[in-house]
């Protein structure tokens, strides 16, 4: 059995019941269940529809995300999340670069790295090198003035944790940021790279080993083994090329507002919903969301 989930942006919740009924009838689905009025609905089908991706494109054109996934084992025991442009709305290194006066150059490298055009480790070293001499106090300034949480993150963490799930933040960014974001959202643990500091200024170097694509996969394997759960029990979310390894390995990999090259490799793509979409795809009703 498979479940079809249709959802839209909570900021423009206008999921048409006629669309839900039309697809349910066309695919011989079970009764529609509304997870959130005007925002998310689901129904069960016997098999993955042959025209799934054609319908997905049509839905995208009207601002609707559509996910088709196995019904069994939908609710996961662990959340593994990227940070930049996933749990927060910015790329931390780009914000630091703006403060250092090298914003455009660093943003270009970041974009190419997240699209998979550049080696992640080399791109990180190059960008951090451009921050050499920046006062370490700028990190707190960026955290206070520039960093905003991705909508839906608090509900996602609170709801999954209330059901006993473990939450790990694994970022190719920096510990100075993941520590605060993890604390604010309620992650159990966080892993990231370390910006090296000398006499109160960034040295332009990053601590080794660099946490990149493979390190996120390793984190998935290590944490699930420690918790005594299966990798199939994990829902992973990210947006960049360095997230693809964990998105492929996890039981449910979600490309959230991802770069096109990343989304193309993932079956679960959320382009309009916020982070609460990860709850809807697991079958949570909005009434079940924890405060």
Catalytic residue numbers, as ranges: 82, 84
Cα–Cα–Cα angle for 46, 52, 35, nearest 5°? 70
Specify the pairing of strand 252-256 against strand 268-270.
parallel
**DSSP-derived secondary structure for the chain:** -EEEEEEE-GGG----HHHHHHHHHHTT----EEEETTTEEEEEESS--TTHHHHHHHHHHTTEEEEEEESTT-S-SEEEE--TTTTBSS-HHHHHHHHHT-HHHHHHHHHHHHTTSS-HHHHHHHHHHTTTT-BTHHHHHHHHHT--BPTTHHHHHHHHHHTT-EEEEEEEEEHHHHHHHHHHHT-SEEEEE-EEEETTEEEEEE-SS---HHHHHHHHHHHHHHHT--GGGEEEEE-SGGGHHHHHHSSEEEEES--HHHHTT-SEEESSS-TTHHHHTTT--GGG---
């Amino acid at each position: 059995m498979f479940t079809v989930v249709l959802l839209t942006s909570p900021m423009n919740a206008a999921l048409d019941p006629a669309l839900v009924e039309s697809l349910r009838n066309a695919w011989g689905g079970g009764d529609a269940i509304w997870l959130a009025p005007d925002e998310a609905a689901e129904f069960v089908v016997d098999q993955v529809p042959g025209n799934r991706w054609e319908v997905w494109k049509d839905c995208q054109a009207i601002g609707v995300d559509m996910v088709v996934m196995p019904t069994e084992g939908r609710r996961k025991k662990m959340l593994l999340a990227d940070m930049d442009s996933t749990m927060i709305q910015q790329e931390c290194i780009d914000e630091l670069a703006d403060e250092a006066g090298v914003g455009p150059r660093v943003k270009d490298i970041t974009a190419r790295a997240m699209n998979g055009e550049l080696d992640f480790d080399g791109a990180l070293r190059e960008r951090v090198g451009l921050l050499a001499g920046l006062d370490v106090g700028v990190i707190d300034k960026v955290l206070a003035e520039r960093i905003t949480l991705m909508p839906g993150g608090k509900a996602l963490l609170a709801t999954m944790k209330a059901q006993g799930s473990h939450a790990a933040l694994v970022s190719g960014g920096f510990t100075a940021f993941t520590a605060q974001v993890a604390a604010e959202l309620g992650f159990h643990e966080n892993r990231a790279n370390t910006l090296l500091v000398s006499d109160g200024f960034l040295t332009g170097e990053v601590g080794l080993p660099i946490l990149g694509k493979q390190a996120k996969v390793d984190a998935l394997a290590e944490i699930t083994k420690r918790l005594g759960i299966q990798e199939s029990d994990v829902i992973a979310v990210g947006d960049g090329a360095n997230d693809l390894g964990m998105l492929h390995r996890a039981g449910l990999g979600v490309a959230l507002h991802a770069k096109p090259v990343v989304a193309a490799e993932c079956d679960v793509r959320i382009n309009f919903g916020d982070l609460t979409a990860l709850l809807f795809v697991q079958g949570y009703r909005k009434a079940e969301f924890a405060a």
